[in-house]
Structure 1
Amino acid sequence: MTATTGLSFRAATEADVPDVVALVESAYRGDASRVGWTTEADILDGRRTGADEVAPAVLDPTTLLLLAESGGELVACCLVSRAHDQPSDEPMAGSAASGPEVAGPAAHFGMFAVRPGLQGSGLGRLVLAEAERRAADEWGARRMVLEVISVRDALIAWYERRGYARTGRVSPFPYGDERFGVPRRADLEFAELVKPLT
């Protein structure tokens, strides 16, 4: 039996908040995260998320905190948010737009975490596909937008293999705001990627 056997999806409830926080932290922070390949332990210390961020997302009607369970256990999660902005013709400061521009409603993908010992099993691909399907079918989203720390080359390549492309837009990392972690290097920024949804 693998993590993808009997996989089921559901929206998170308030009772799930502690488990979601623990999952996200385990996938990105500390030595435990090094079991998987999505760790940020070499670039960031501190927290990745907390109940103060997860609980409001559960209650927000414009977001979906999607849980993936296998055998009754939480194995992955992601946060999909409605975003109604149109793509700009002008790139963000310091960038050169090069990716696809798709008009229409957008959804934003984030807080993506797969249990470290299950990373590389195909589970993440299934969670991403379910998030895209729900955003398109339930909200009418025509594109999915996400941001990745630009030095995360392997993670960006993973998204590119799933149809995402860099837009060329970047945004600064919130240095000094420990809610987003404590940086271990001075060159962090977010790269925007987008995928058209059909």
Structure 2
Amino acid sequence: MAPRLISDADFNRKLNAPDRNREHTQAFLAKGVEPFSLPGYVPPAGYRLVMSLDGKQCRLLKDDITAYAVKIVTGKCVVPGKQHCTQVMVWRTFMPEHQEALNGLAKLIFAWLLETYEIVVSDSEQTGDGRRFWEYRISEAIADPRFEVMIWDGTKDNDELTPIQSTEEFVNKWSPYAWGTDPEIHQHRLLVISKIKSAIPPE
């Protein structure tokens, strides 16, 4: 349940190949979608942003091709009594013709998740790209007084939540602590960004 570093994920391989992307996209659409309006983002001509009917998967599509995809899962294990969300299966195409449409999209979706769920938690396995994305978001949140940034350590008996006070502290101490390749350790260390101040429960 934390940022264990992994190699390129299976969904990357599926969506990177155009034929498999089209097949994967058609299967997603067949389950039902609705238009999704993301604050601050206007899809360019020919693109549409959609959300699955269960609200758990968002995609940017052009025709029957996926250009960006993110799954959303929710839970309550990190901050007692508070629901949080986690982005999983975050993927974007490397095809150059889609890059302008993707500009800023991931950051805006992350901001929407934080606004909607108030607590966003890192996923249990990440590629190197996923780690870099989270490092940017952590640094931004530390600099923003509206947010509280923490690390949750499920390897401790009491599932400790520890505040991260500065970017320097995060880079020097918590980033190497959170990310690694040991499944017994790094799947149980999560980074937390909370819009709810003092999300750390009292002793």
What TM-score does the superposition give when structure 2 sets the normalisation length? Answer: 0.41
What TM-score does the superposition give when structure 1 sets the normalisation length? Answer: 0.42
